[in-house]
Amino acid sequence: MTALLIRDVKLGLRAGGGALIGILFYLAVAAVTPFAMGPDLNLLAKIGPAILWIGALLASLLGLERLFQIDREDGSLDLMVLNRHIMPLSFAVFIKCVAHWITTGLPLVIVTPLLGLLLNMDGKAIGATALTLLIGTPAVTFIGAVGAAIAVSLPRGGLLVSVVILPFVIPVLIFGVMATFGAVVDGAPFKAPMLLLAALTLFFAVLGPFAAGYALKNAGD
């Protein structure tokens, strides 16, 4: 169990593991927006949290197809399916999701303050965005595991994962941005969307690996 976690984290951090690509993509989204919106600092500060959330969401979606693809190519996915009486498949998927989040989701949270400064956000807004991303991005990974598991048997499933997953991550985006604005703007609710965001993460932490494990088991035969 720990071995699988460490192995996946190591693989993810290695060159070509996709962690760096996700961060660069996140950076690109945040850097491109001021060009589209115009360099009005007040406007940027206002919509900054939303931009960062969109960027983080897209960056997470980008890396999802790698979740099972590499394991399938080198055959370790089949081993996991065969050894499911030792470690249940949904549990293995859960560990893989955690490792995937550590290598792709967590770096996004870490670079968020830097991008927040570029977008002229104040300290409170940066903190709120980083906090909601920390709580919300695991949900994206867990939901994405279902799509990645379904698409693993497809010859060209890469883009399909994002399309199939998109409707399910919309609530995460809504509550994430809502909670961030709730922390910054006076009078906007903070506690309720924050709790719902946490609930989404916990809910999909159970449902996602379970459904993904089932899909992987069936993809094998």
Partner 1 sequence: MNNKNIKKVGALTALANPTRFMDLSGKLLPWLALLAALLTGVGLYLGWQAPEDYQQGITVRIMYLHVPAAWFAMFSYTVMALSALGVLIWRHPLADVSIRAAAPIGAAFTLLCLATGSLWGRPMWGTYWVWDARLTSVFVLLIMYFGIMALQRAMEEPARSARPVAILVLVGYINIPIIKFSVDFWNTLHQPASVIRLDGPTIHPSMLWPLLVVAVGFTFMFLAMHMAAMRNEVRRRRAASLRKAGARGKSSAPATAVLEG
For partner 1, the binding residues (CB under 8 A) are 146, 150, 153-154, 156-157, 160, 163-164, 166-168, 170-171, 174, 207, 211, 214-215, 218-219
- Give me the least distance between CB of 166 and partner 1, in Å please: 6
* Complex with partner 1: residue 39 or 167, whichever CB lies closer: 167
- Give me the least distance between CB of 174 and partner 1, in Å please: 8
* Complex with partner 1: residue 26 or 53, whichever CB lies closer: 53
Cβ(95)–Cβ(1) below 8 Å: yes
* Complex with partner 1: residue 11 or 160, whichever CB lies closer: 160
One-letter amino acid of 171:
P
- Give me the least distance between CB of 185 and partner 1, in Å please: 17
CA distance 184 to 207: 32
- Give me the least distance between CB of 6 and partner 1, in Å please: 29
* Complex with partner 1: residue 38 or 167, whichever CB lies closer: 167
One-letter amino acid of 123:
G
| Residue 114 parent element (H or E) | helix 106-118
Whole-angstrom CA distances from 116 to 68, 119, 167, 221 are: 32, 5, 27, 47
- Give me the least distance between CB of 140 and partner 1, in Å please: 14
Whole-angstrom CA distances from 221 to 79, 92, 106, 203 are: 13, 18, 34, 29
Cβ(5)–Cβ(95) below 8 Å: yes
* Complex with partner 1: residue 126 or 169, whichever CB lies closer: 169
